[in-house]
Structure 1
C-alpha cells in the first residue's frame, strides 16, 4: 500500500502543506473549521505523521508514556482510558507501559527507557521511594501518581486517602455499624496507599468515639481477591465479629463478598461492605459495591495539564495536586439499612 504523504492530505483538503502541518502539530492559530477539514482528510486517507521527522522539526514526538503497575487492575485500566481520552483531546498519543511493581522496571521509566521516544511520562511508582525518585536524572518531563510520599521537586497528583477512609467509616457508623473491620494489611506492601487508608480508618473510628481494635484489621499475603476472601473466611471461622467492613480496594471487597456469602452472612443486613476505587468490577458485584470513588477523569485531566506545562517549558518546583473523591452508595452499604440487631 502506498504511503500517504503530507502533500496527499493537503491535496484532498484543498489547503497548503503548511496548514496541514499546523493541524498535525496542534498549533493554536488554526481555525476550527480549517482544523475539522484537514482532520477529515487525515482520517479519510489514514495519514500517520512521521515521528522522526516531527521530532527533528519540532523537538517533540506528540507521544507520551503512561507507566502503571498492572494493566489488568480495574482501577488502572479505567484510569488509563481517561488519560488516553484526555491525551487525544490535547493532540497526544499514549504508550502504556506495565512495570509490575518491579523496582528495575520503575527505575528504567525515569532513567532512559523513554528518552527520545516520548515528550513526557505519567508514572505511578510502587517500589521507588521519595529520595530515589528525587536523585534520578530525568531528561523527560514526568508527573507522578499514587499515594506514596513524593519529592517536592516532582509534580504529583493524588486523592486524600486519609480523609476518604474517614468518610467510609463515617458512612458505616451513620448506618448503625459498631464493629467495623479493615481489609487489609498486605504483607510487604510498600505502596503507601494501604497505610494511609488504614490511618483514615482508625481516625474515623476515633472520631466516632470508638477504640480501634487490632483484631479487626485483617491481614492478607497479596493483593488478590482470593487472598482477601481467605482472610475474611479465616476471621469468621476464628470468631471475629464485625458488622461493617472497609476494604482497601474493590478487588478485596469482591473477595470479601464471596467469603461472606459462602459463610451465610448476608450483605448488607449482617455486614455492610465499602470498597475503594469505584470500578466496573464493584459496580457489577453481588450486591453492587458502595465504594470510595476517586474522580479518575479529574485525575487524568490534572496530570495531563501539569505534564503539558512541563513539556512546554515549565521548570519550576513540583506541584502537588489533590483531586476530588466521593462515596458512591450502592446495595452493599446502602442508606437506611442498619445492622441486624439480633446478631
Structure 2
C-alpha cells in the first residue's frame, strides 16, 4: 500500500497542508472544528506523522522514553499505565524500555541511546549509584524515579519509604502485634528501596520502644513469591512466634500469605500481613492485602511535569519531589483484628 501523505489528509479534510501540519504539531491557534475535521481524516486514512520531519520542523519528536527494571513487575506495570496516560494528556507517546537492572543497560539509557528519538526520559535506576548518574553527560532531559539516593543535579521523584514503613509498623502495633517481622532482606540486593524500608521498620519499633530481634528480619535469595514463602515457612518451623509481617512488596506478601495458609496459620487472627505497592496482586489475594500505597497517579504526573519543564528549556538545579502515600487497610491486617493471647 502507498504510504499516506500529508497531502492526502489535506485533500480528504478539505484544508491546506499547512492546516494539517498545524494540527499534527498541536499548534494552539487551530480552531476546535478544524482540529476535529483534520483528526477525522487522519483516523480515516491511518496517517502517521514522520518523526524525522517533525523533529526538523519543531526540534521535538513528541515521544518520551520510560526506562524501568521489569515490565512484568506488578508495580512497574501499573506505574507505566499511569505514566502513559499522563503523557498522552500532554501530547506525548511513550517508548517503554526494560533494563532488568543491568548496569550496562542502565548506563545506555543515560548515555543518550535515545538521543534524536525521544524528547526526554523517565528512568528508574537500580544498579547505578548517585555518583555514576552525576558523572554521565547527557543531552536528553531525564527525570529519575525510585528510592536510591540521586545527585542534586538531577530531577528525582519518590515517596518517603522510611516514613511509610514506620506507618506500617505502627498500624500493626496498634492492633496489638508485638512480634513483627520484616520480609525481607534480599541476597545481593542493590536497590535502595529495601534498605530504606528496613530502616523504617526498625525505626517504627524503636519509636514504640520495642526490642529489635534480628531473627525477625527474614532473608531471601531473590525477589520471588516462592522465596518469600520459603522464608516464612522456615520462620514458622523455627518457632519465632511472629504475629505480624511488614513485606517489602506485594509479591513477597502474596508468598507469605501462601506459606501461612498452607501451615494452617490464620491471617489476620494469628499473623497480620502488610504488603507494599498496593498492586492488583494484593487487591485479589485471599485474604485481601493491606498494603502501603504510593500515589502512582501523583508520581506519574509529577515526573511528567518536571520532564516537560526540562524539555521546554528549564536548566536549573535538580528538583527532588516527595509524593504522597497511604496505607490501604484490607482483610490481611484490618483495624481492631482479633489477636490470640500468647
Q: Aligned-pair distance for 1:18?
A: 2.1
For this pair of structures, how many residues does the alignment match?
Answer: 342
1:157 is matched with 157
Change (3 A) 1:48 1:152: same
Q: Provide the secondary structure at the position in 2 that maps to 1:126.
A: coil
Question: Deviation at 1:20?
Answer: 2.0
Distance in 1 (alpha carbons) for counterparts of 2:184 and 2:29: 53
Cα displacement (A) at 1:272 = 0.5
Deviates more, 1:54-63 or 1:68-77: 54-63
* Residues 46 and 293 of structure 1: CA distance in aligned 2, closer, same or farther (over 3 Å): same
1:232-311 alignment, distance < 5 Å: 232-311=232-311
**Whole-angstrom distance in 1 between the partners of 2:37 and 2:139:** 36
- 1:37, CA displacement in angstroms? 3.1
Structure 1 CA distance, aligned partners of 2:199 and 2:14?
62
SS at match of 2:219: strand
- Residue equivalent to 2:91: 91
Q: 2: CA distance between counterparts of 1:19 and 1:294?
A: 43
The reply on whether 1:39 has 2:39 as its aligned counterpart is yes
Determine the C-alpha separation between the residues in 1 that align with 2:260 and 2:184: 15
In 2, Cα distance between equivalents of 1:7 and 1:127: 48
The answer for unaligned runs of 5 or more in structure 2 is none
Contact 1:233 1:260 survives alignment (8 Å): yes
1:26 aligns with 2:26: yes
Between the aligned partners of 2:146 and 2:337, the Cα distance in structure 1 is: 33
Structure 1, unmatched stretches of 5+, are none
Q: In 2, Cα distance between the equivalents of 1:32 and 1:297? A: 28
**What whole-Å deviation, never above 9, does each CA across 1:43-71 have from its counterpart, x for those lacking one?**
22211100111111112111111100000
- C-alpha distance in 2, partners of 1:320/1:38? 40
Deviation string, structure 1 residues 106-143 (Cα, Å, up to 9, x no partner): 00000031111111110000000001100001011100
CA displacement, residues 158-205 of structure 1 (integer Å, 9 cap, x when unaligned)? 001011111111111111111111100111111110111111111111
How far, CA to CA, are the matches of 1:22 and 1:130 in structure 2?
Answer: 42
After TM superposition, the runs of 4+ consecutive aligned structure 1 residues lying more than 3 A away are 31-34
- The CA distance in 1 between the partners of 2:306 and 2:34, in whole Å, is 28
Q: Name the CA distance, whole Å, in 2 between partners of 1:251 and 1:263.
A: 19
Residue 317 of structure 2 aligns with which residue?
Answer: 317
Q: Which moved more, 1:312-321 or 1:24-33?
A: 24-33
Report the equivalent of 1:227.
227
Q: Is the 8 A contact 1:74 1:279 kept in 2?
A: yes
Answer whether contact 1:177 1:338 (CA < 8 A) is retained: no
Specify the alignment match of 1:192 in structure 2. 192
- The answer to whether structure 1 residue 73 and structure 2 residue 73 are counterparts is yes
- Residue in 1 aligned with 2:148? 148
Aligned partners of 1:32 and 1:322: how far apart in 2? 37
User: How far apart are residue 11 of structure 1 and its match?
Assistant: 2.7
Maintained 8 Å contact 1:64/1:120: yes
The 3-state SS of whatever aligns with 1:144 is: strand
Cα RMSD of the aligned pairs, angstroms, is: 1.2
Matched residue SS, 1:177: coil
State the match for 2:125 in structure 1. 125
- Normalising by structure 1, report the TM-score: 0.97
* Cα distance in structure 2, aligned partners of 1:269 and 1:90: 47
- 1:313: how far off? 0.8
Q: In 1, distance between residues paired with 2:40 and 2:315?
A: 36
